[in-house]
Amino acid sequence: MSERGGAGKSNLTGIWNGLYTYPHGQSTAFVATLIETAGSLSGTTHEPSTSGDAPGATLLATLSGSRQNSAVTFTKRYDPPGPRTGSPVRYEGALNADGTEIEGRWIIAGMWSGKFLMIRSAGQEMTVSRKVVERV
Q: Show the domain range for 70.
A: 14-135
Residue 8 lies in a domain: no
CATH number of the domain enclosing 97:
2.40.128.120
Does residue 4 lie within any of the structural domains? Answer: no
- How many domains, in total, are found in the chain? 1
Which positions ≥6 away from 87 have C-beta within 8 Å?
108, 109, 111
Asked if residues 117 and 18 have their Cβ atoms less than 8 Å apart, the reply is yes
pTM strictly above 0.85: no
Task: For residue range 26-51, list pLDDT tens digits in order.
Answer: 999 999 999 999 999 999 999 998 87
Residue 6 belongs to some domain of the structure: no
Using CA atoms, how far residue 74 sits from 1, 39, 52, 95, in Å, is 23, 11, 25, 13
Convert the pLDDT of each residue in 61-99 to its tens digit.
Answer: 999 999 999 999 999 999 988 777 789 999 999 999 999
